[in-house]
Amino acid sequence: MHPLKEMIKKRLQDKNCGIASYCSANELVLEMAIRRAKETDTPVLIEATANQVNQFGGYTGMLPKDFYDLVINMAGKVGLKEENVILAGDHLGPLTWQHLNEKEAMENAVELVYQYAKAGFTKIHLDTSMKVADDKEGLLSTEIIARRGAMLYKAAIKGYEELKSAKPSAMRPVFIIGSEVPIPGGAREVEEGLQVTKVEDFKDTVSTYSKVFEEEGVGFGMGDVIAVVVQPGVEFGDNQVFFYDPKAAESLSKSLKEFPNLCFEGHSTDYQSAKCLKDMVNDGIAILKVGPALTYGLREALFALSMIEKELVPESQQANFIETLDKVMLENPNNWKNHYHGNENELKLARKYSFSDRARYYIGQPKVVASMNKLFDNLREYTIPMNMLHQYMPFSYLRVRDGIIKLDPKELAMDGIYQFMQDYEYATGVIK
């Protein structure tokens, strides 16, 4: 049985059961997630988005098979079994091709989903909620969304069946339907509050998909659907976080009792408190998506290490990581210029510190990676004093002091990632 189906089954006895979905292509984030899965003997769910990884390479330059191989190889190096790695595809649909008409956009979306499933991804988010170039004005009907979703489901099953013929042990994928509002990756503007998904909209999504799947001859496919994406009232912007309110989501949470084989998937859960995340799991939001916060934690740790370097290392030898990252972002502004607003100083601060963390698109680029590795080398040559570590990285200081992690710059950088991961481990019952 698929580990996520097992989770759904367990939730019937224990509502505290859940799983974090780590949505990142950063190799240090992936390494940390895999390492923790090995240490805790639990499955790890790693997610790639349609714009990160697709049949044209995405912004990472990786095809679905490339990303699959990268993660599985990393797992092998730490001794994590392949069956404990769940690879997932997020927002798989015409998201990346909204500028094309329906025929062209859906042809690309069908090929995208097919390649993900054939590569071995076993959690597929069928997301056809976004409009394409020749759609009529106004919101898409649930009928159109479900009809396009059925097309993608068929493509995924085709990919899976081809994989299974070559690899009999291949696991049948499970599917996620629905989509959150607003667009993932951080709210574009400050809002007074967020509208929790209405119960009738959630039920309409499930019933319409059920009807359309039957009409398309894949009615059995609803048995493969394990979750619906909803907006439980959480989001974040550049410098603001909308925290989960159980009372606001109470009706939505109660409605899930009518669907014992389903849970909710929450997107944009980044920066929620450990208690908020725990409450979300208790309320049926059993799959917690997190992405930008992980690279934010990495960036935060790297900035702290860079400040330590400025104290310890001769100026001529310094890696200047902070300056290098900003220079690379300025040289190629396409991944942040439409998301950050204000005067030059406000833009500079947003590039460094925004919760939406557009820096994640640059932190893996060659010049930035080279600067990061030089920073690590420098701080291995000039050992970080514990008193200085306490000044700049007080939480990591405690973990070094107690012998949990080593006094190594790479380990300290990865600890910045883990400081966000541990809240998800607590919320999903991995740690107490």
| pLDDT value for 378 | 98
| pLDDT value for 194 | 79
| pLDDT value for 186 | 47
| pLDDT value for 401 | 98
Q: Does domain 3-290 have CATH number 3.20.20.70?
A: yes
Residues in the chain predicted with pLDDT less than 50, given as ranges, are: 182-186, 188-190
| pLDDT value for 180 | 73
| pLDDT value for 355 | 97
| pLDDT value for 16 | 78
| pLDDT value for 13 | 86
| pLDDT value for 68 | 98
Secondary structure, 3-state, the chain: CCHHHHHHHHHCCCCCCCEEEEECCCHHHHHHHHHHHHHHCCCEEEEEECCCECCCCCCCCECHHHHHHHHHHHHHHHCCCHHHEEEEEEEECHHHHCCCCHHHHHHHHHHHHHHHHHHCCCEEEECCCCCCCCCCCCCCCHHHHHHHHHHHHHHHHHHHHHHHHHCCCCCCCEEEECCCCCCCCCCCCCCCCCCCCCHHHHHHHHHHHHHHHHHCCCHHHHHHEEEEEECCCCEECCCCEECCCCCCCHHHHHHHHHCCCCEEEECCCCCCCHHHHHHHHHCCEEEEEECHHHHHHHHHHHHHHHHHHHHHCCHHHCCCHHHHHHHHHHHCHHHCCCCCCCCHHHHHHHHHHCCCCHHHHCCCCHHHHHHHHHHHHHHHHCCCCHHHHHHHCHHHHHHHHCCCCCCCHHHHHHHHHHHHHHHHHHHCCCCC
Q: pTM for the whole thing?
A: 0.96
| pLDDT value for 192 | 54
Q: Does domain 295-427 have CATH number 1.10.400.20?
A: yes
Indicate the domain borders of the chain.
3-290, 295-427
